[in-house]
Amino acid sequence: MRNSGFDLHQQLWDNFTFSEKRSIFIGMLGNYSINKVNYLWWILIFVIFFLVYIYIGSINRPLRNAESKYAEIPREMLVTGDWITPHLNYVNYYTKPPLTFWITAFAYKIFGIHPWVARITNISWAFIASLLTGILAANMFDSFAGPITNAIFLLTAEVYAYCLDAGIEFSVISCNIAALLFFWLYDNSYYKKKLYLRLFYTCVGLSFLAKGILGLILPLVIVFVYLISFRELQKAKYVFDFIGIFILLIFTIPWSAVMTLRHPDFLKCFVINEHIGRLLGTLDSKDSLFPTSIFLAYVIGEFFPWIIFTPFIWDVIVKFWKNHQYKKKIIFLIIWSLIPLLLFSIARCKVDFYSLHIYPPLFIILSVGIEKMITTKRETRIIRWWKYLWLYLAIIAIIAYFILTLKSKSNLISMLDIPSIKLAKQFLLTSFLFNSLMFFLIFKNKIKGFFLLLFCYMIIFFFFTKEMYVAAYNNDSIKFAADAYNKYSSNKTNSLLFSEELPEFAHIAILNFYTKKPAYFLRNNKNSKLHFIQKDRMKMCFDEDDFFKLVKKGIKIYYIGHIKRTKERFNRMGIKYNIIAKNGNKAIFEIN
């Protein structure tokens, strides 16, 4: 009897013709095909932003240390022919599941092995996440909310900054958004509920393959808390669909089981170290440990420029909370944003770009506020005082410009570690000009002109962001050492490539990518950070005594390290060397 209502709806659905079913389904996904104007807006936004991300981002730049593992692991998949076990530095890599690596490896097969291929994979995931967020916004509110959400998503500072590098975070974000989209359609539609529910489980399974247990937990916890908030736990028994759970297990169990059978230490490294260790701060690498206060500062700063629009987000939340028709929607979006915020705030190991998990529901809420701004002819109470924020930003920008000009050599400016003072000053002058003009447009209630100018400003912001990346390249990459090794090593087969300890084990991947060889670490004898649960990783790490034995055997060694520290170390060890290439305070040393 409990399924009688559902069966009746299913019978009604079966009576529709194919074209009627298609119209209903497309309508549920946001009416993009029905409303051709908004459909064209959506296409225009994606074409413009794709060109911006590709062209301004200069995606074929040489790799940086931090992103190199996401380019190298797919390359080693092709070299080893092992598509089950990811490898980094030619040893097993248990930290991340293989979904993104598979896709990048397939892209390498089509386009060749280049940095731009790894980066465009990341950009593609970001655009998929934006599209899915827009579809959900259009479904929850109106069709015009979709293109607005897309534009907000792709104009966000951290979205663009993360797309400058290769990465995997947008893959799990896309899968999570897709899962929550299909859950929302399941919970708010009368037709094809089982289809939506099983698509929800499919996307949760893909999320696991993209990020691991985190990808599995996030959408499930969001859905569970959402059901609790409306005291609808009785719905949970309908959410537990046996076929859906079977689909979920297909995506999670086979890869995990094969990895466990192949590698006895897999579960210990993948579950205990990478997931539980990240939560408790007991990772074998402590580089991602920083206080929650700093993480929250990243969350605020990386939400630029939309952090300035917080009053409009709050205004939508307050008004919709009082409206029975919209309260359920706003609670769903708030829970979606708060769960990752709380989880990553509690976790002791985190990185700044985890903020990207928090933003999509805020983009949807803000799209409603911005649509209201555009369509409202008169000046609202919020705009009446909010417009002065842009004047304050212009004043702050010009003050900062003069401080940089007059105090550029001070200790305070040196502590900021700005890659290029010249670029920073140019950006501050540009910000002063644009913020002043945007204040003027809002003052005159020219809202559409304001948003057009904001778009132009963010494109310029993206340009300066990329230029800062380029300016910081010498400090962020040891590619120069790989180039020198390729140039001067006459016998690569019988020579070894070593590096001093890097901030993260995975940074060694830049040497692998450009030399096509494994690389080893020389550990610091005291206070060494190189200690890994994974045994084959530890085999890549040498103490000074073992390193000295290799030197005594006459093996040709190339070593990358800090010039002053390395000279002092080799002199103390009695090792003769030649410097064959330098870059800033780093060099590659030839031994024997």
Q: In degrees rounded to 5, what are phi and psi of residue 104?
A: -65, -40
Q: What is the pLDDT of residue 440?
A: 95
Residue 351 clears pLDDT 90, i.e. is over it = no
Mean of pLDDT over the chain = 87
Per DSSP, the three-state class of 56 is coil
Contact 370, 312 (CB under 8 A): yes
| Band of residue 28 on the pLDDT scale cut at 50, 70, 90 | very low
- H or E element at residue 583: strand 577-583
Q: What is the pLDDT of residue 5?
A: 42
- Of 115-129, 197-211, 416-430, which range is least confident? 416-430
The beta strands (E) that lie in 392-514 are given as 495-500
| Band of residue 11 on the pLDDT scale cut at 50, 70, 90 | low
- Read off the pLDDT of each residue in 408-417 and give the average, rounded to a whole number: 76
Q: What is the pLDDT of residue 31?
A: 44
**pLDDT tens digit string along 242-255?**
999 999 999 999 99
What gap in Å lies between CA 367 and CA 354, rounded to an integer? 22
What gap in Å lies between CA 28 and CA 101, rounded to an integer? 33
Structure tokens at 193: 């509920």
Contact 171, 125 (CB under 8 A): yes
**pLDDT tens digit string along 239-294?**
888 999 999 999 999 999 999 999 988 988 888 878 787 777 665 555 566 788 89
| Band of residue 232 on the pLDDT scale cut at 50, 70, 90 | low
What gap in Å lies between CA 283 and CA 276, rounded to an integer? 8
Neighbours of 560 (CB within 10 A): 26
Closest CA to 221 of 59, 342, 122: 342
Residue 12 clears pLDDT 90, i.e. is over it = no
Q: Is the dihedral of CA 498, 504, 505, 506 positive or negative?
A: negative
What gap in Å lies between CA 549 and CA 525, rounded to an integer? 16
Q: Is the dihedral of CA 338, 339, 344, 347 positive or negative?
A: positive
Q: What is the pLDDT of residue 2?
A: 41
The whole-model pTM stands at 0.90
* Percentage with pLDDT > 90 across the chain: 62
- Of 45-49, 181-185, 198-202, 524-528, which range is least confident? 524-528
What gap in Å lies between CA 447 and CA 374, rounded to an integer? 6
What gap in Å lies between CA 265 and CA 139, rounded to an integer? 45
Residue 8 clears pLDDT 50, i.e. is over it = no
**pLDDT tens digit string along 138-182?**
999 988 899 999 999 999 999 999 999 999 999 999 999 999 999
- Read off the pLDDT of each residue in 525-544 and give the average, rounded to a whole number: 74
Contact 566, 587 (CB under 8 A): yes
- H or E element at residue 579: strand 577-583
Residue 482 clears pLDDT 80, i.e. is over it = yes
| Band of residue 529 on the pLDDT scale cut at 50, 70, 90 | low
Domain parsing of the chain, residue ranges: 9-56+94-289, 396-473, 478-591
Per DSSP, the three-state class of 343 is helix
Q: What is the pLDDT of residue 288?
A: 60
What gap in Å lies between CA 72 and CA 519, rounded to an integer? 13
